[in-house]
Structure 1
Amino acid sequence: MKPSLPRIETLTPSMSDSTQLHHQVTEILRDKIVDGVLRPGTPISERELCEELSVSRTPLREALKILASEGLVQLFRNRGAIVSPISVETIEDKLAVLGALEGHAARLVCQHASDEQLKELSTLHRRFVKDFDTGEPSLYFERNQTFHQKLVEMTGNVVLIDMHALLSRHVRRPRIEGVRQHLPTRVVIDEHKAILKALLARDGDAAQAAAEEHLKRVAQTVVTYFRMR
């Protein structure tokens, strides 16, 4: 593989635990895949990666297992691994489930969130609007994800939070690539505003509908992009 990966040079004795090491390797490889440094279909050479990252095969293989569970890597018995191709059908299905989770989260937030929590979400929305026109895809995606993650975290439902986090990782790569190619229009701001308005009014039906409609449109945009490539 040609793209050069950063060496892990910040390990301290307290961080040398194998679990921490393979998580660190996982984060580096995940970022490289999501950011497009390692493209879909790229063969993964364990030998080259071990040299690049200055690690043994054990933490690397643990990292690859995690990335395989996230749909970013495909493992083949006795034949190594490759960066997973992006499947339009899989993206569509996962975004549909993500929309259902966020819709349910919005309803729960109306029932259980404190006024202080809703104020915090309002602040995140204002920050999102302020930075929207920077033309920087990574900043847009970060601000957008922060808003949605906070919405889900406010439910206090650990199972829902974990499921949402897992699916969000699964669709991060295609969503970021879609954003890079087609910067979102300001309709996203209007959709976030509709979600927030319903939440502040404690209107569970409206909040759920607004959240689901927003993710449905996002899914259509992402899927359309990948089908037209």
Structure 2
Amino acid sequence: MQDKFNGELSGKIALVTGGTKGTGKAIAERLLEAGATVIITARNTPEENNEKLRFISADLSLPAGTQKVVKEILTRYGKLDILVNNLGSSETPGGGFAVLNDEDWEDTIRTNLLAPVRLDRGFLPQMIERKTGVVIHIASIQGRLPLYDSTLPYAAAKAGLINYSKSLSNEVSPKGVRVLTVSPGWIMTTSATRMMERIAASSNTTVEQATQGVMDALGGIPYGRPAQPEEVAELVGFLVSPRAGYLTGTEYVIDGGTIPTI
């Protein structure tokens, strides 16, 4: 498996949060292919078991969950070289600000902002001590292009994550740790595909028409389609590799041209 990437991550210990499905799963498999030892976390056991990926069950929206992951990894491996904060979700109802309560906001911020902050705090000291490490924050173009009708807390949390990531990089890059942000647009995960199928069935249209409808709601995707999880994973795989050794403090947007400004 290591031939394609010359084992460029051999000897590296990597953690990918939300790594059991979708983009997180693709990222975990990409790092594994490059030779890393990869740990994944999620609340639920992976639907597809990959014995080469080490799984830790944890609810990272809670302090106890992040503490569990940090303790287990550092106890077993003694270090973490690559942290990919991929976990993110939006489960708030549509309808704008008026339908959202404190619990909607707090749950979203805990998952999308505080979970990576806590994991960074847990793993950064040993990276700084060793003067090496890479932290990737998976944000979203909604940090710049919010969809207020249905994902207002998510967009606000991701904007906060982007700002935090830049500030953190300014602090720890001089100490040998690279911090980067990846902001994807719409990704056609298995969950997104199922959603398109539900929309198509309820509106008596085709999946292709449902997909086009979502792209239109985003203002269009010049590339003509959503991203595939593997395309985002390939970008992350490059960013954590030695080939990207001078890259830090930067946000990388991968959206097929969705954001209409420079």
> Does the TM-score normalized on the shorter chain lie above 0.5?
no
Q: Which has the higher helix share?
A: 1
TM-score, reference length from structure 2: 0.24
TM-score, reference length from structure 1: 0.26
- Choose between structure 1 and 2 for higher RCO, CA contacts under 8 A separated by at least 6 residues: 1
